[in-house]
Amino acid sequence: MRSRAIRVPVWNAVTSFNGRSAAVVNISRTGVLLVMDGTLPPGRKEGVLAFEFENGTRLLQCRVVRQRLEPPNLRETYPKWHVALEFIDSEERTAEVVRMVMGGQRLRRAS
């Protein structure tokens, strides 16, 4: 049985998938969980995930693993979509971007 990759919670990461804004819930070396306002178009299984950093944008190729409608919480009036993406870019490029996202989280939590 394959073990699951360790997931790290993410706060305030600016990202988009196929040009649509998204918030990151968590990230691991193998993929990311996003929250989006709407579902993705049917049949669109792969795309580009863009992370905005102070020193520029980093892009990763991803594959949609699943998407699920979540009920609104107490602070929201509309339901949100949870979209799980698997990274399909090169391991080196993926590792670089994941390290940048995780590094930014350490700086945010420390301040």
For 76-89, write each residue's pLDDT tens digit: 778 899 999 999 99
pLDDT of residue 74: 80
Asked if 31 contacts 44 with a C-beta cutoff of 8 angstroms, the reply is: no
Tokens of 106: 């350490």
pLDDT of residue 9: 78
Which neighbouring-strand residues pair with 67?
A: 83
CATH fold group of domain 8-110 = Thrombin, subunit H (2.40.10)
Q: Which amino acid is at 70?
A: E
Which band of pLDDT confidence, cut at 50, 70 and 90, is reported for residue 51?
very high
Domain boundaries, the chain: 8-110
Distance CA 94, CA 56 (A): 16
CA atoms within 13 A on the CB side of 66: 4
Mean pLDDT of the chain: 86
Is residue 1 pLDDT above 70, yes or no? no
pLDDT of residue 19: 93
> How long, in residues, is the chain?
111
